[in-house]
Amino acid sequence: MPPDARVRIFVFDGYLWNETYERAPALSPGFLHATVLEPLALNNPRVLPQQGFSLVTNVDDLEWYIPSMEKDGRKFLTAIDIPVAERPRVLRELELMGINAGSLFPGLDGACNQMKERFFEL
């Protein structure tokens, strides 16, 4: 991997989006839309720890569409670029906040990934 490689994290403000735009009444309306849904946690143990949302859309380029809808100083989408070399430090800081594979992915997979991160070099 190149030494200047980066990871991009997108932060989408779904609450502000829902305050600004109404939800589409159907999954395939005749206009471009992005509808934020808060799913029920039934049969999905990851929704609550991940504070998950679902985004239903008929737009194929959200990186273009969402910023094109930003008006009146409202910003819905932010991109954060983090150097790959910062990965160990970022994971340590997230661990201090209780955010790790075990807390985000309840079950055996998450526990094993958390142990791998903690005890083995990647």
The mean of the pLDDT values for the chain is 86
Domain assignment of residue 78, yes or no: yes
Contact between 36 and 119 (Cβ < 8 Å)? no
Domain assignment of residue 17, yes or no: yes
Domain assignment of residue 1, yes or no: no
Of 35-39, 49-53, 84-88, 116-120, the least confident: 49-53
Identify the domain containing residue 61 by its residue range: 6-119
Predicted local confidence at residue 38, as pLDDT: 78
Domain assignment of residue 113, yes or no: yes
Average pLDDT over residues 4-9: 91
Predicted local confidence at residue 13, as pLDDT: 93
Domain assignment of residue 23, yes or no: yes
Predicted local confidence at residue 78, as pLDDT: 93
Instruction: Please give the residue that has the higher pLDDT: either 70 or 28.
Output: 70
pLDDT in tens, 29-64: 678 888 888 777 777 777 777 777 888 888 999 989
To the question of pTM greater than 0.85 for the whole model, the response is no
Q: Decide if pLDDT at 15 tops 70.
A: yes
Predicted local confidence at residue 119, as pLDDT: 84
Of 37-46, 68-77, 109-118, the least confident: 37-46
* Number of independent structural domains in the chain: 1
